[in-house]
Structure 1
């Protein structure tokens, strides 16, 4: 294996550096010597031949933009000389592609908690879901006091999820808040839920119950703090009941077909589409082959690579759902007078990503090669096994929350830059490069950087698969769990009163 650069696809006219190059350094590509024209950081692109102004830059075998000026062999290919090809909404034609993915009858199991309604949880936690942001601190104090008061034996702790909304919201924004919070109420990783309301908010408890629908009264309790004489004392009594209920559940073997895993990337770099995202894609295909489910979001980071997903739709109805998913999100950008390619972020660019197409072509690799079985709106919940798409932005906190709300037991979060963030479910931080994994051991759970140091994809996929089963079975914890980093964030588009 070449240790100096990666040529991702045979048709690419760029290579990706595996070390820092100085001006005048030489690298040997195929049958020629290329002299580097300027200092080029690790993870960035070098032109392998002369590229005329207007010609496409090719990476992953697809255009990632075009040359704004003539680019010489050995030049650094980045933001100064490359422009996106993206514009507004497009029309698409369904051109289905076949997949060689073979479904297998799976005898693999993990140890989870079978809830009364048949749902499977991988954690046995108590969650405090507050209907409105005004009582974030009340929920925080309650969780802290409860964890001090109740011995965590037989359950996995009490957690609260602060947010800003639930009042002074109109239309879709209020509905989005209610859907996300309702889905968290129904999430099986929580053995018990205390819904904490203020009393005067738009999303007051009586109204919120309409969105929640059916629930188990032993599992879900409610308290309006304006109506309580001592809200902390009354809430602790309710939490005590929930703890007792949670302790009635024991782990038992359940089929792997019940496992749902969310797929997310954040703080990407030039290796994201070479190591971590393809590794997650291989894991996704393997889990789906065993009858399990994966969920992919970050719609703006599908722009430029959306046809790859569209052509893997299981039927024409799902194809049209993907078209609407992509074009509706483009319309959201245009409605706010923003160009659809306003991405990648400064950190992405520093890491070696130049255009949104480049980021997207790396991003969609997390979905592997499996057919797309369903497309969900924001706040939707998974009902079909296989690869699902859910509407959501690229923002880390909002999209991980959407994945958890859709039903993901675990989220795999690939990153080349690093982040301590964790969602309400175990959030596996996967490094795209070994340097990050070694530097941020309290953040990173899994190192995909081993792929550029000689480890085979099949071997690392098996390691990841076994790690995820151990994680689901409670034999391991992610760093976000160990550190108590469990957060949510809700999408907002409209007016706040």
Structure 2
């Protein structure tokens, strides 16, 4: 072995290790006192067989099977899609077992952050004005109003005026229209927004009076409405309403709030071979710390639970939550089947290029974002979290749709691990966490935190507490994510039906 940073063996039972740099054919590595000579080139983040693996034999990583060999694999060979196949099938039957894992106990904590306490008792971490348009036809009107409002009120005590374009709200039927209304209504009710301007056109399916029913009770000072077809000058009237909202928003000041009030979404996108080794375990360790202090974390991306779903199911707080988790997984499989799609088509080309071979491997890394806490609740798409602890929310793996779902469920912040990189940000602060240092150093305008330190000598205990402190500072407004700094704030809404 030429240096200590050549490979990583994650679990003593594993039949593969992970390359920590590009390794050429012929290089020797020393594992368990045994010299292994590489029979092929192996790229950074990819897997090396550390023993002979016979055809159909399970390949172990993280101590779990990530698939089986399609052909005999010799010791020292590159292990990837050319010689590995998934073991996953269609829908499965699951049996409830009483939780055997240790329950994470809520500890007394005096940890606080500086937040905005709203009149209804909810807490926000930003004091923003949001323009929520009921229909995509007026995206540009909302965009122009946000730009004009930001410029007009740049010296006021708010964090900006923002809009979130989307293509829906009209020509939708059934569940699609309901989903659009749920997501937009939950954004209206999000405490990061001190004030909301609901902008309607006037002839859309999701017209303002109907949309009000989805919003529920609201403060007239906090939520204003404008139908642009009825306005003589929608820009002038819109700016007047925004000014009223800014006046209202300035009445809120940051004050110490228990960290138990914090709700954080957990998301991974563009995985590589280190996502399940650095980024996702770090987020899982953070999740456990927050839950221990009475806070809330939220996971989605149901297709990226396939193959590792039992890890979450057997951490259900009771049988009802277990059955909800089973339905969450099987209902999403039904969605694939209904559209004649292969359930286990994942991982994506980018994932494969980064070293992820099968959906089992991706999922085993993905579920680590939930740490070891029990699962306290499972929610349908578009619903808001009501229980503290680790929650699961229905949603796809798509970055934009899932981050939007997390924000709509109540997340103040979304933690977004990535081994490939993306500039994307949701409507709430979206913390991009690189799984490797090379990405962190290359994409300074995208990445907020480097979990790659975990394979460079930093121990998990130190890093998880450093990261927790970073999130507290972020929630307090002492720092901003890159998506906030550069104005990358977008939403996307799940669609599964007919557009007229």
- TM-score, L = length of structure 2: 0.99
CA contact (8 A) 1:432 1:449 kept: yes
Structure 2 match to 1:175: 178
3-state DSSP class of the match of 2:276? coil
Structure 2 match to 1:393: 396
Give the deviation of 1:101 after TM superposition: 2.8
- Cα distance in 1 for partners of 2:277, 2:268 equals 13
Choose which of 9, 15, 28 in structure 2 pairs with 1:26.
Answer: 28
Choose which of 337, 360, 364 in structure 1 pairs with 2:363.
Answer: 360
Choose which of 192, 196, 199 in structure 1 pairs with 2:199.
Answer: 196
Give the deviation of 1:339 after TM superposition: 1.2
CA contact (8 A) 2:103 2:374 kept: no
Matches within 5 A, 1:440-459: 440-459=443-462
CA contact (8 A) 2:395 2:405 kept: yes
CA contact (8 A) 1:262 1:404 kept: yes
Structure 2 match to 1:142: 145
Structure 1 match to 2:439: 436
Give the deviation of 1:94 after TM superposition: 1.3
Choose which of 154, 165, 178 in structure 2 pairs with 1:162.
Answer: 165
3-state DSSP class of the match of 1:404? helix
CA contact (8 A) 2:46 2:356 kept: yes
Which stretches of structure 1, 4 residues or more, deviate above 4 A after TM superposition? none
CA contact (8 A) 2:113 2:259 kept: yes
Structure 1 match to 2:415: 412
Given the alignment of the two structures, is residue 124 of structure 1 paired with residue 114 of structure 2, yes or no?
no
Choose which of 44, 48, 51 in structure 2 pairs with 1:49.
Answer: 51
Give the deviation of 1:100 after TM superposition: 5.3
Given the alignment of the two structures, is residue 224 of structure 1 paired with residue 227 of structure 2, yes or no?
yes
- Cα distance in 2 for partners of 1:32, 1:311 equals 37
CA contact (8 A) 2:186 2:384 kept: yes
Given the alignment of the two structures, is residue 187 of structure 1 paired with residue 190 of structure 2, yes or no?
yes
Q: Superposition RMSD on alpha carbons, in Å?
A: 0.8
Structure 2 match to 1:325: 328
3-state DSSP class of the match of 2:403? helix
Given the alignment of the two structures, is residue 467 of structure 1 paired with residue 461 of structure 2, yes or no?
no
CA contact (8 A) 1:87 1:339 kept: no
Given the alignment of the two structures, is residue 239 of structure 1 paired with residue 242 of structure 2, yes or no?
yes
Give the deviation of 1:264 after TM superposition: 0.2
Give the deviation of 1:359 after TM superposition: 0.2
- Cα distance in 1 for partners of 2:387, 2:482 equals 30
- Cα distance in 1 for partners of 2:498, 2:232 equals 34
Given the alignment of the two structures, is residue 74 of structure 1 paired with residue 80 of structure 2, yes or no?
no
- Cα distance in 2 for partners of 1:97, 1:61 equals 18
- Cα distance in 1 for partners of 2:186, 2:165 equals 15
Instruction: Name structure 2 gaps, 5 residues minimum.
Output: none
Provide, for residues 146-187 of structure 1, a one-character-per-residue CA deviation record: whole Å limited to 9, x for no partner: 111113431111000000100000100000000000000000
Shift of the 335–417 alpha-carbon distance from structure 1 to 2, 3 Å rule, reads same
3-state DSSP class of the match of 1:226? coil
3-state DSSP class of the match of 2:142? helix
Structure 1 match to 2:95: 93
- Cα distance in 2 for partners of 1:408, 1:97 equals 29
